[in-house]
Amino acid sequence: MDFYHNWLYEYVLNTKWFLWIVVGSIFSINIVGPLFIWRITSSKTKKDTTDTLDTKDNS
């Protein structure tokens, strides 16, 4: 199979706009990913601390 002369490679995968979409997606994931994980972990720790404070008040 001659992949480099395939229509998909010539007109889609090897174009400037497609490569910029790939680069932009990777940069966006690298910036938003840690923020998303930080948001998840910080919300879990807030729930854990409020749960422990509530149980201490009920004792």
Q: Mean pLDDT per segment of 10 residues, for the chain of length 59 residues?
A: 91 96 98 94 72 55
- Identify the pLDDT of residue 44: 76
Q: Which of 12, 20, 34 is nearest to 4 (CA)?
A: 12
Give the predicted TM-score (pTM) of the model: 0.61
- The torsion angle over the Cα atoms of residues 32, 37, 41 and 43, rounded to 10 degrees, is 40
Query: Within a 10 A sphere around the Cβ of 55, how many other Cβ atoms?
Result: 9
- Identify the pLDDT of residue 51: 58
DSSP string across 34-57:
HHHHHHHHHHHHHHHHHHHHHHHH
Residue type, 42: S
- Identify the pLDDT of residue 54: 55
> Under a CB-based contact definition with an 8 Å cutoff, are residues 3 and 9 in contact?
yes
